Amino acid sequence: MGWGRMDEHEELNELSGRVLHVIYANEENGYAVLRLDTLDGGVTTVVGTLPAVCPGEELHAFGEWMTHPNHGRQFKAEYAERSLPRTSEAIYSYLAGRAVKGIGPATATLIVDRFGEKTLDVLENHPEQLAEIRGITREKALRMSAEFRRQAGMRRLMEFLCGHGLRPLLAVRLYKFYGEDAMDVIGGDPYIISAPHIGGSFAEADHLAFDLGCESDDPNRVRAAVVFELRHNAGNGHCFIPREQLAAATAKLIGVEPEDVDENIETLISGGQIRYEFIAGRNACYLPELYEAETNAAEILARMCRRSFGDKADINKIIAKLEKSQHISYAPLQKQVLELALKNQVVVLTGGPGTGKTTSIRAVLAMFDELGMKTLLTAPTGRAAKRMTELTGQDASTIHRLLEAKFDDTGDSVVFTKCESDRLDCDAVILDECSMVDIILMNALLSALPPDARLILVGDADQLPSVGPGNVFSAIIRSGVVPTVRLTEIFRQNGGSRIVRNAHMINRGEHPDFAENAGDFFRLRRLQAASSVETITELCTTRLPNKMHIPPEDIQVLSPTRKGELGTVNLNRHLQAALNPPAKDKPEKAFGDVIFRKGDRVMQIKNNYDIMWRTEDNRSAGTGIFNGDIGVITSVDLENEGIVVNFDGRIAGYGFDSLLELEHAWAMTVHKAQGSEYRAVILALGQASQMLMTRDVFYTAVTRARELLILVGDDQTAHQMIDNYRQSKRYTALRVRLRKLCGVE
């Protein structure tokens, strides 16, 4: 049997031998590094996707020779055929290498001495004979046999899937859920691999299904495509899809008639794989988890809206005391925030930059402290939580940390320890940057609140919506049922800031005078992308550090897009070369077409709830590095194949196989920067998709700058973004549900 997929073996070099030692193996993706005893008597390093390989196995590989800069000459296997060991010597090596759980060198010696070349047949088919060996009980023999059969089944499954060009990880998950029945399950429905608990894509499942002779209108295919469309659109921010639209999109995707799709939608609804409801004037089709999140969040919020605490304290006396202690005089709207927070269980506070949201948060926090209430502060991202801590003087955490998020047993889905059965220990929660929170996370937070706890939702309703499904903050405000204060006044200390003034102009659709280079807002006009890249690099390396005393670590380059000359990928490549060039004392690791080097600024691009970290002083430790966390690579260990990253004092280690979770962060997209604030921001303005070149993207970028904003590019591009007012229209019924539950309509 073989793994990998190669139709023209003759174009590749061949290498045969026996596996001596497995240096490295990643069970998740099947990548391995091993030493091979070749037929000509030599020993060669082989690398490639070699799932579940063990010492003693015989290998016939097809690939090419390559020279690694650190490890020398290697054979990179593109395709390989394998067989279990056949000689007694090879079988001993296989078992002694702990290929089978419960068998080590000593036990391997006893078994192979007794059964020789028949050892593996005995293990698989006649385990009772193992009990004839002194020291091996019948129970132990059966356990060893079961483990060997499991390994054999896993190996055959991997070989089958890899022979069809699929990832070895899918075999691991399939076998975990279905055991020895996995092959039969796939044969009955290849699209099972696209189920969430397996984690394959619809394209992978479709490829396998057609290889196995599946017809284009097979019901399993149609239903899998329907679910794929729902999940795909959830990734685009939609909580549901109208049934008619869902049928049409699915039909177009797989080349069948919409009527055939609709029949299968009905079957999915009947079976509970899709939730259906006529709401907001739509025949709404939901994924079950999104339906539960939206309906539950609406019910909790509506219940909180109906709760009033009455006049338990004299608000005027409290305000006067706070003003005196904080040496401040609150504006009328800020006093209104305090009054509403005192009397209501849930309150929304929104406003643009410089309107006093932070002052209001401090005031509410001080009022709750005065009343003896325990208040928790939280935000969607690590950087937003850190900023909240700096501005309030009280510890803030991410929502994921607050709720003690972790992976479930599958390793793919997130569960929250803090939930309805184990609620947070608090009297109030203040959530900042609420516009970034999707419906799943909002429901998780609401479910974990104690029944009497107050909730203050803070954010800028005009910023970009959440990456995940829903438009929660906007829907809550537009419902009209949650007490809301919209701060509009720009305070004196911010009135001189052109960043603040221009941000508000942009938000209103007005064009600032970009030629007025003064104060904290500058425009450097560049008509060519190459010239813009050169200018941005110069600003980061010399002009801002030397002339304005802003070090590179306080500068953040933003772009609306990843692609193109002014996209983050290309900008990071140039900025790495300028800010952290190669050096003898800076080891580096090439990963695809990206080089990770000691001293690089990097960002975590997916939530990892299991990765361990420690503080710099080793006094505390924890788990979890989250999407958007930014750090610096402090070491690259080529021998042990790992890197270490310092995330603002949290030290985390990554294996080379986990580098897909990181990308360079001298430049990042505006979406990734949401919820963060930087001393100096350079915004690259170039050509990109009109979906990205919008007013809210521009507004969000400008409001990321605290002391200095520099636009680099063409005025025309800036004007086009301001004029491109595309509000994010998402299919969600949260607003409608809130109004119905509160008796408004």
pLDDT at 457: 97
Give first-to-last CA distance, the chain, whole Å: 65
137-194 tens-digit pLDDT: 999 999 888 888 877 777 778 778 877 878 777 887 888 788 888 889 998 999 999 8
290-338 tens-digit pLDDT: 999 999 999 999 999 999 887 667 888 888 988 888 888 888 898 999 9
What are the DSSP E strand ranges found in 575-641? 588-591, 594-597, 601-604, 608-615, 621-625, 630-637
Six-digit token pair at 25? 């193996």
CA distances from 646 to 373, 382, 575, 635, 666 (A): 35, 14, 20, 10, 15
pLDDT at 493: 56
Angle, CA of 283, 234 and 211, to the nearest 5°: 100
Query: How many angstroms separate the CA atoms of 745 and 738, rounded?
Result: 9
- pLDDT surpassing 90 at residue 8: no
Query: How many angstroms separate the CA atoms of 174 and 196, rounded?
Result: 11
| Residue bearing the bigger pLDDT, 101 or 597 | 597
pLDDT at 271: 95
pLDDT at 433: 93
Q: Phi, psi at residue 396, to the nearest 5°?
A: -125, 150
Mean pLDDT in the chain? Answer: 89
- pLDDT surpassing 60 at residue 3: no
Give the total residue count for the chain. 745
Element (H, E) at 378: strand 375-379
pLDDT at 436: 92
221-277 tens-digit pLDDT: 999 999 999 999 998 999 999 999 999 999 999 999 999 999 999 999 999 999 999
Long-range contacts of 130-134 (CB under 8 A, 24+ apart): 134/110
What is the DSSP-derived secondary structure letter of residue 543?
I
Query: How many angstroms separate the CA atoms of 204 and 248, rounded?
Result: 22
Six-digit token pair at 455? 């909730």
